[in-house]
Amino acid sequence: MELPRHWRLRAARYRLLGARHRSTGEVVFPREPRHAADAWDDLPLSGAAELYSFSVVRQPATDDDAPPALLALVRLAEGPLITARITDCRADELTIGMPLEMVTRALRALGPDGLIVYGYAFRPLVWPA
């Protein structure tokens, strides 16, 4: 039963809730224990991002990641770099630096308890500006 460990991360996983430093303006994601409330405010991030790097995972660690899965390091528009899956496209459509947008996808199905863990993934921007 892994419900609590995923449930408590829901704001970051569903809404990209990060934090911004009140005086320096630095943005972090995810918010960590050291980002104390007296200096950091909650900040939902836009979901706009660009591709920092990626790989095609052909030897996955679980059956949830049917190969080939696209794994990426994604630079969020507000600054933080995060690890996420790329979805709704093929590997040969990806290039470093291309614009991405956040979508919500099922990340894991946790066995007989029936818990399905949802969270952010990214896809190439559908309607580029």
Partner 1 sequence: MNEMRPVYLLGAAVTPVAEHWERSLGDLAHEACAAALGDLPRTAVDALVVANALAPALQLQAQLGAALADACGLTGIEAWAVEAGGAAGGVALRQAALMIAAGAAELVVVLGAEKVSDVLDARREAATALSSDADWEGVHGATLTAQWAMLMRRYMHDYGVGAADFAPFPVNAHARAVANPAALYRFAVAPGRIAGAAPVADPLVLLDCATAADGAAAVVLASAALAGRFAGPPIRLAGSAVATDRLALHARRDPLWLAAAGQATALALRRAGLAIGDIGAAELTDPHGIAAALALEAGGFVARGSAVRHAADGRFGSGGVLPLANAGGYKARGDLLGATGVYQVAELAALMRTPGAPRATLAQCLGGVGATAAVTVLVRDDA
Q: Which of 108, 115, 124, 125 binds partner 1 (CB under 8 A)?
A: 108
Closest of 22, 93, 81 to residue 56, by C-alpha: 93
Q: What is the DSSP letter of 88?
A: S
Closest of 48, 54, 50 to residue 92, by C-alpha: 54
User: Should residue 55 be labelled a site residue for partner 1 when binding is judged by CB under 8 A?
Assistant: yes
User: Should residue 101 be labelled a site residue for partner 1 when binding is judged by CB under 8 A?
Assistant: no
Handedness of CA 31, 82, 69, 46 (dihedral sign): positive
Token readout for 22 is: 């009140």
Give yes or no for a contact between 29 and 12, defined as CB atoms under 8 angstroms apart.
yes
Nearer to partner 1, 9 or 43 (CB): 9
Binding mask 64-93 for partner 1 (x = CB under 8 A): xx---x-xxx------xxxxxx-----x--
Q: Which of 25, 34, 37, 63 binds partner 1 (CB under 8 A)?
A: 63
Which parts of this chain interact with partner 1 (CB under 8 A)? 5-6, 9, 30, 52-65, 69, 71-73, 80-85, 91, 96, 107-108, 117, 119, 121
